[in-house]
């Protein structure tokens, strides 16, 4: 091809020279200077032709563009003219014409982020030429975080992507939300790993060092390609591939320590005993202060303690007993290389994270192989497999199989009394507190119970794919890919006689569960690219996909195990109380068609249509269209030295949310799920603007979106939901010198979630285990997961009562609090009487606030100075509410449990001497279970998420020739948090459902990590 092209070009040039010679001779004869003609070819550094290069005569008015082969032809004013070659993706050049009639030129690509090519699974495109809204992860910065899983460092790094930690235990899954919650059923985006769709990312085990690119697809023009699985967004993960060249070995590791970022201040022994005396003086005084009793009364002991003695007793800090400094370590090893035809990469990794809560932690084992092979001139093939396993052990924290509130780990820890009433009573080692060992006031030793609870779970995940690429024609390619996914989850729980569950009426008991999902996918794709008449570029993709999935689940619970010594191996000897054995089949086919067109790389148009089989032969369709205008290629901006890129884009379309019935029902809601496949459509409008300044040293990305779902009417209480928002991203190169570089990335996302309508078959209310009263509601005009309850109105004061001989009676014009009016006393809790009827009842419940943030984002800075590198990353969330359920139990003791310690803040409760307006008196909690905004707090926070400092040793120090690079580092995670939230950490949501977000009760504590790392390349 090249020889034919060169021959043709030389003949063309020869003819042109002869023609020009004739013209010149005749011109001289006439005494007039004529134009000259120049032809040539423009290519990149790899000798590939560049289409769309502007070639213009600097001294004249003529200009042209290179065609698809990089060729051009232009008339110039004279031999003294200069030709300027410019393209938005390449550095410009000027060349003097002189006597040359053939000018072949090589242009170097501009080193800017917008010129990078991104793999969107179905097609590749330069970031500069995209028509949709995409979020790009800076993997280089993310990998600096000392975490064992990539998603633990995702929060705040991509505009529009919110990451939630529902549970927080090591190894527990995280929840992702892209551009707000679209459904009351399912909000998880689809993950696509090297072309393999992963719908349940909870079991996904990947090596962070293997991830080359992570891209978030957000608008309809991109999501429609994924049809009924794209409605909640799509996260594309592309792993590392081999390369042609000398093989390379990379070893990355870190070793660190974790400790909890915050402990709760608890009552001292003195304050605890004083509170217990107020709560239950009849039983407390003989137990703790027998010397304060009247001589001769029951329990009086002149040798015993008085209240003031407890000021000199340190007591037990149960948080110090339960929490620990925990080790975290991670190691990764990879080998990659290849030649022009064969490229390979293999890797393995191991991590071990001990939990800061005793008897908790997680490990990860992972291995991966990827191979690409060129077969002849027209076929490329590839194969990849990744296997990972994550065993973990944890504790009962909340929302799990529990006898009562005392079963939960942190409840036992905070509630344990710091001191006994007698030096001879040991409360540190026995399983049951000697003074509180009878129902209903049983107190379990938090340390002993944690040591004996066995709650194990292991996730394993296999991803594999194989593909063939065919170059049918220069502009026509075909691809066939087969992929297989296997997820397995198995877990056991065993509770012996030294656990709250195993010491109850059911005796020693246990649970076992196992589930396995196998998913096979076949994809066939065609792609066609063509340039017409130099100015018109067309690319078309079409394909067919077949998916088959099978899920099996088995579970059983057993009680009254006779032989606790053999643990889970004796389950067959127990009494079965629950069994599960089910199987789900899911198979469907899909097709898609996508087309993209641009004119002179100025005006872009793309369209998508995908059809997915839902039930039988019934298809649902996902169409989308996108437009963009690259103003930089217009004459009025082409030569601007300030504006390096300027693009306006818009898209509109539909994608969907496709679900099979979940193994786990939505907790504590009255939503009823029908059998079979469920479908919800999501329609979305996106308008965006991308601006690059000063050679893309500053890049601004703005997006406005409006999306509305169409709920599946087969759901009771299904809701039609709208999400509107604005996303802002700023990327800057602040300093770019040989020895000093500083770059920053800032993003912020505003989202307004609003329920448009609710299915009218029944109201949607959600309650929590701390009370039978509803805490959440779904109301048209409000956001999902709105908190619902009574409005706290402070504390009744003496002035609110009529007093007669020391007896206080609530004034007639003062509303009650839900208790009998005769029982209400100064210092009791008070609620707002919304309807002014003088009574507090269900009619006075109102929406109290939203669990969703008004905005969230992140700010990342990377600085390189000579051999040092520094990375600092801040993450924040603003405007969301968190219901601090812990304060219900430990800042007022709403169930009036005796022997239960309280937070130190409750020392400031109402007394006749300290007339608090915020903390009710002992016993002044009113009717138990009435939920109010007294414990609803501002969940906003600013967190110094990651700090990393590294030093790369100069090569002259590396005496071993095989060592190419050696980097030492120190990193910290969750270093500082600035918040008004009174609990352990504001980034909490243990409700385990979309409708119960922002609830905190016994959540696993946020921990701070400091680590030391070693990275070596051989």
Tens digit of each residue's pLDDT (9 = 90 or more) over 519-551:
999 999 999 999 888 889 999 999 999 999 999
Per-residue confidence (pLDDT) for residue 762, from 0 to 100: 52
Tens digit of each residue's pLDDT (9 = 90 or more) over 484-498:
999 999 999 999 999
Tokens representing 948 are 């990393």
Place 142 in a pLDDT band, splitting at 50, 70 and 90. Answer: very high
Rounded CA-CA distance 445/85 in Å is 78
* Arithmetic mean of pLDDT, 943-966: 89
Place 760 in a pLDDT band, splitting at 50, 70 and 90. Answer: low
Q: Which of 5-19, 43-57, 375-389, 672-686 has the highest mean pLDDT?
A: 375-389
> 674 pLDDT exceeds 70?
no
Per-residue confidence (pLDDT) for residue 662, from 0 to 100: 40
Per-residue confidence (pLDDT) for residue 184, from 0 to 100: 83
DSSP state of 779: -
Per-residue confidence (pLDDT) for residue 397, from 0 to 100: 65
Per-residue confidence (pLDDT) for residue 23, from 0 to 100: 37
> 93 pLDDT exceeds 70?
yes
Angle of CA points 46, 480, 519, to nearest 5°: 125
Identify whether the C-beta of residue 133 lies closer than 8 Å to the C-beta of residue 222.
yes
DSSP 271-290: HHHHHHHHH-HHHHHHHH-G
Rounded CA-CA distance 218/159 in Å is 10
H-type alpha helices, 377-534: 409-415, 446-452
Cβ neighbors of 22 (< 8 A, separation 6 or more) are none
Nearest by Cα to 813 from 799, 828, 793: 799
Per-residue confidence (pLDDT) for residue 670, from 0 to 100: 39
Nearest by Cα to 785 from 759, 768, 766, 770: 766
Per-residue confidence (pLDDT) for residue 436, from 0 to 100: 92
> 97 pLDDT exceeds 60?
yes
> 150 pLDDT exceeds 80?
yes
Tens digit of each residue's pLDDT (9 = 90 or more) over 874-901:
999 999 999 999 999 999 999 899 999 9
Tokens representing 143 are 């990998």
Decide: helix, strand or coil at residue 347. Answer: strand
Q: How deeply is 811 buried, as exposed, middle or buried, from its count of CB atoms within 10 A (0-12, 13-18, 19+)?
A: exposed
DSSP state of 992: -
Identify whether the C-beta of residue 205 lies closer than 8 Å to the C-beta of residue 366.
yes
Rounded CA-CA distance 476/470 in Å is 9
Nearest by Cα to 276 from 441, 427, 390: 441
Place 13 in a pLDDT band, splitting at 50, 70 and 90. Answer: very low
Rounded CA-CA distance 242/248 in Å is 10
| Omega before residue 985 within 30° of 0, cis | no
Strands 234-239 and 190-193, sheet pairing: parallel
Rounded CA-CA distance 717/181 in Å is 16
- Terminal Cα-to-Cα distance of the chain (whole angstroms): 40
Computed over every residue of the chain, the mean pLDDT equals: 88
Which homologous superfamily is 36-106 in? Answer: Carboxypeptidase-like, regulatory domain (2.60.40.1120)
Per-residue confidence (pLDDT) for residue 91, from 0 to 100: 82
User: What's 607-664 look like in SS3?
Assistant: EEEEEEEEECCEEEEEEEEEEEEEHHHCHHHHCCCCEEEEEEEEEEEEEEEEECCCCC
Nearest by Cα to 649 from 627, 632, 630, 631: 627
* Count of CB atoms situated within 10 Å of the CB of 597: 15
Tens digit of each residue's pLDDT (9 = 90 or more) over 168-195:
788 888 889 999 998 887 889 999 999 9
Rounded CA Rg of the chain: 34
Nearest by Cα to 395 from 332, 334, 439, 449: 449
> Which residue pairs from 150-155 have beta carbons closer than 8 angstroms and sit at least 24 positions apart in sequence?
150/206, 150/208, 150/211, 150/214, 151/176, 151/201, 153/945, 153/946, 153/973, 155/858, 155/875, 155/945, 155/987
Place 203 in a pLDDT band, splitting at 50, 70 and 90. Answer: confident
Q: Which residues are paired to 302 by β-bridges? A: none
Identify whether the C-beta of residue 487 lies closer than 8 Å to the C-beta of residue 200.
yes
Longest dimension (CA), the chain: 140
Cβ neighbors of 111 (< 8 A, separation 6 or more) are none
- Strand (E) or helix (H) holding 875: strand 868-878
CATH number of 117-244: 2.170.130.10
* Arithmetic mean of pLDDT, 961-976: 92
Signed CA dihedral, 783, 785, 790, 793: sign only: negative
Decide: helix, strand or coil at residue 367. Answer: strand
Per-residue confidence (pLDDT) for residue 98, from 0 to 100: 87
DSSP state of 780: T
* Arithmetic mean of pLDDT, 396-405: 54
Per-residue confidence (pLDDT) for residue 116, from 0 to 100: 75
Residue owning tokens 């792609």: 527
* Arithmetic mean of pLDDT, 754-771: 71
Residue owning tokens 């002149």: 302
* Arithmetic mean of pLDDT, 780-796: 93
* Count of CB atoms situated within 10 Å of the CB of 186: 18
Q: How deeply is 777 buried, as exposed, middle or buried, from its count of CB atoms within 10 A (0-12, 13-18, 19+)?
A: buried
Q: Per-domain residue ranges for the chain?
A: 36-106, 117-244, 269-314
Task: Describe the chain by its helix, strand, coil percentages, rounded to 5.
Answer: 15, 45, 35
Rounded CA-CA distance 534/950 in Å is 49
DSSP 521-555: EEEEEEEEEEEETTTEEEEEEEEEEEEEEEEEEEE
What percent of the chain stands above pLDDT 90?
A: 68
H-type alpha helices, 191-337: 220-223, 269-279, 281-288, 318-322
Identify whether the C-beta of residue 495 lies closer than 8 Å to the C-beta of residue 407.
no
> 511 pLDDT exceeds 60?
yes
Tokens representing 951 are 């030093």
Give 401 or 506, the one with higher predicted confidence.
506
Per-residue confidence (pLDDT) for residue 181, from 0 to 100: 92
Identify whether the C-beta of residue 137 lies closer than 8 Å to the C-beta of residue 747.
no
Tens digit of each residue's pLDDT (9 = 90 or more) over 832-871:
999 999 999 999 999 999 999 999 999 999 999 999 999 9
Give 51 or 331, the one with higher predicted confidence.
331
Tens digit of each residue's pLDDT (9 = 90 or more) over 916-940:
999 999 999 999 889 999 999 999 9
Per-residue confidence (pLDDT) for residue 615, from 0 to 100: 66
Per-residue confidence (pLDDT) for residue 864, from 0 to 100: 95
Q: E strands along 194-244, which residues? A: 196-198, 211-217, 234-239
Residue owning tokens 């930089």: 632
Q: 73 to each of 14, 85, 483, 535, how far by Cα in Å?
A: 14, 12, 48, 14
Per-residue confidence (pLDDT) for residue 642, from 0 to 100: 92
Sheet of strand 771-777, all strands in order from the earlier edge strand to the far edge = 765-768, 771-777, 786-789, 846-850
Place 26 in a pLDDT band, splitting at 50, 70 and 90. Answer: very low
Sheet of strand 90-96, all strands in order from the earlier edge strand to the far edge = 63-65, 54-57, 82-87, 90-96
Tokens representing 890 are 């430990």
Query: Within its chain, how far is the Cα of 220 from the centroid?
Result: 20
Tens digit of each residue's pLDDT (9 = 90 or more) over 550-585:
999 999 999 999 999 999 999 999 999 999 999 988
Tens digit of each residue's pLDDT (9 = 90 or more) over 304-314:
999 999 999 99
> What is this structure's pTM?
0.86
DSSP state of 954: P
Q: Which residues are paired to 369 by β-bridges? A: 346, 385
Nearest by Cα to 714 from 674, 681, 757: 674
Rounded CA-CA distance 648/759 in Å is 38
Rounded CA-CA distance 964/957 in Å is 11
Taken as a whole, the chain contains a residue count of: 1018
Tens digit of each residue's pLDDT (9 = 90 or more) over 582-626:
998 888 899 999 999 999 889 999 999 999 987 666 888 999 999
Average the pLDDT over each of 683-697, 707-721, 854-868 and give the range with the smallest value: 707-721
């Amino acid at each position: 091809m090249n020889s034919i092209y060169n021959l043709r070009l030389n003949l063309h040039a020869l003819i042109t020279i002869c023609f020009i010679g004739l013209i010149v001779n005749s011109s001289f004869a006439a005494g007039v200077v004529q134009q000259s003609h120049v032809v040539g070819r423009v290519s990149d550094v790899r000798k590939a032709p560049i289409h769309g290069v502007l070639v213009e005569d600097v001294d004249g008015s003529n200009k042209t563009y290179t065609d698809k082969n990089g060729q051009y032809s232009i008339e110039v004013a004279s031999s003294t003219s200069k030709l300027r070659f410019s393209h938005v993706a390449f550095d410009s050049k000027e060349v003097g014409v002189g006597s040359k009639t053939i000018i072949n030129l090589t242009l170097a690509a501009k080193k800017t982020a917008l010129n990078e090519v991104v793999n969107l699974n179905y097609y590749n495109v330069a970031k500069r030429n995209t028509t949709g809204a995409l979020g790009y992860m800076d993997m280089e910065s993310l990998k600096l975080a000392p975490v064992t899983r990539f998603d633990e460092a995702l929060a705040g790094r991509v505009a529009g992507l919110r990451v939630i930690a529902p549970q927080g235990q090591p190894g527990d899954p995280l929840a992702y939300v892209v551009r707000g919650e679209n459904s009351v059923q399912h909000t998880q985006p689809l993950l696509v790993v090297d072309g393999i769709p992963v719908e349940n990312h909870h079991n996904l085990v990947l090596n962070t060092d293997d991830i080359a690119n992570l891209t978030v697809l957000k608008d309809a023009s991109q999501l429609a390609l994924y049809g009924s699985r794209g409605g909640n967004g799509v996260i594309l993960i592309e792993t590392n591939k081999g390369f042609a060249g000398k093989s390379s070995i990379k070893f990355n590791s870190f070793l660190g320590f974790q400790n909890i970022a915050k402990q709760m201040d608890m009552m001292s022994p003195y304050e605890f005993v004083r509170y217990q005396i107020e709560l239950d003086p009849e039983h407390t005084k003989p137990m703790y202060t027998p010397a304060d009793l009247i001589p001769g009364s029951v329990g009086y002991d002149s040798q015993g303690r008085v209240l003031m003695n407890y000021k000199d007793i340190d007591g037990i800090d149960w948080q110090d007993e339960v929490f620990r400094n925990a080790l975290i370590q991670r190691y990764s090893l990879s080998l990659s290389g290849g030649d022009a035809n064969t490229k390979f990469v293999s890797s393995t990794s191991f991590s071990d994270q001990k939990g800061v809560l005793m008897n908790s932690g997680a490990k990860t084992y992972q291995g991966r192989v990827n191979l690409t092979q060129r077969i002849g001139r027209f076929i490329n093939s590839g194969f990849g497999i990744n296997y990972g396993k994550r065993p973990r052990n944890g504790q009962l924290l909340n929302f799990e199989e529990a006898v009562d509130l005392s079963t939960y780990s942190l409840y036992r820890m905070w509630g344990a009394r710091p001191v006994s009433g007698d030096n001879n009573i040991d409360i540190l080692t026995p399983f049951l507190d000697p003074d509180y060992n009878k129902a209903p006031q049983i107190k379990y030793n938090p340390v002993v119970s944690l040591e004996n609870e066995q709650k194990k779970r292991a996730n394993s995940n296999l991803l594999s794919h194989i593909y063939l690429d065919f170059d049918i024609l220069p502009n026509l390619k075909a691809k066939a890919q087969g992929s297989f996914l296997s997820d397995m989850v198995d877990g056991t729980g065993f509770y012996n006689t030294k656990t709250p569950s195993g010491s109850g009426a059911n005796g020693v008991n246990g649970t076992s569960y196992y589930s396995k999902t196998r998913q096979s996918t076949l994809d066939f794709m065609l792609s066609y690219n063509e340039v017409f008449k130099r100015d018109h570029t067309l690319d078309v993709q079409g394909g067919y996909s077949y998916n088959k999935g099978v899920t099996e689940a088995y579970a059983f619970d057993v009680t009254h195990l006779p032989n606790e010594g053999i643990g889970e191996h004796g389950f067959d000897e127990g009494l079965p109380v629950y069994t599960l054995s089910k199987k789900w089949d899911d198979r469907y086919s899909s097709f898609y068609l996508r087309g993209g067109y641009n004119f002179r790389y100025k005006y872009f148009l793309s369209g998508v249509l995908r059809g997915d089989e839902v039930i039988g032969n019934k298809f649902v369709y996902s169409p989308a269209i996108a437009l963009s205008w690259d103003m930089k290629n217009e004459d009025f901006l082409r030569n601007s030295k300030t504006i390096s890129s300027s693009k306006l884009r818009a898209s509109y379309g539909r994608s969907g949310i496709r679900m099979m019935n979940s193994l786990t029902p939505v907790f504590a809601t009255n939503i009823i799920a029908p059998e079979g496949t469920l479908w919800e459509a999501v329609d979305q409008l996106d308008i965006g603007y991308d601006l690059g300044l000063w050679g893309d040293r500053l890049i601004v990305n703005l997006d406005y979106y409006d999306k509305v779902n169409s709920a599946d009417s087969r759901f009771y209480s299904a809701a039609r939901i709208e999400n509107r928002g604005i996303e802002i991203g700023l990327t800057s190169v602040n300093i770019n010198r040989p020895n000093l570089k500083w770059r920053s990335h800032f993003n912020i996302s505003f989202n307004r979630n609003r329920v448009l309508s609710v299915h009218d078959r029944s109201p949607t209310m959600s309650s929590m285990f701390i009370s039978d009263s509803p805490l959440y509601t779904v109301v048209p005009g409000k956001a999902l997961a709105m908190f619902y309850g009574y409005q706290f109105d402070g504390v009744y004061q003496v002035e609110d009562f009529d007093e007669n001989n020391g007896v206080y009676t609530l004034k007639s014009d003062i509303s009650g609090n839900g208790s009998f009016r005769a029982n209400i006393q100064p210092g009791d809790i008070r609620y707002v009487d919304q309807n002014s009827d003088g009574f507090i009842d269900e009619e006075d419940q109102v929406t109290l606030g939203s669990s969703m943030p008004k905005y969230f984002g992140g700010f990342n800075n990377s600085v390189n100075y000579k051999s040092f590198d520094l990375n600092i990353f801040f993450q924040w969330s603003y405007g969301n509410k968190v219901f601090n359920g812990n304060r219900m139990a430990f800042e007022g003791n709403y169930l009036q449990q005796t022997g239960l310690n309280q937070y130190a803040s409750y020392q400031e409760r109402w007394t006749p001497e300290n007339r608090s307006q915020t903390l009710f008196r002992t016993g002044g909690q009113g009717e138990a279970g009435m939920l109010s905004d007294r414990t609803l707090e501002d969940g906003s926070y600013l967190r110094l998420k990651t700090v990393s400092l590294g030093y790369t040793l100069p090569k002259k120090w590396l005496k071993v020739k095989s060592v190419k690079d050696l980097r030492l580092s120190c990193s910290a995670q969750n270093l500082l948090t600035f918040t008004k939230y009174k609990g352990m950490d504001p980034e909490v949501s243990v409700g385990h459902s979309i409708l119960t977000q922002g609830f905190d009760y016994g959540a696993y504590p946020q921990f701070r990590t400091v680590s030391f790392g070693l990275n070596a390349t051989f």
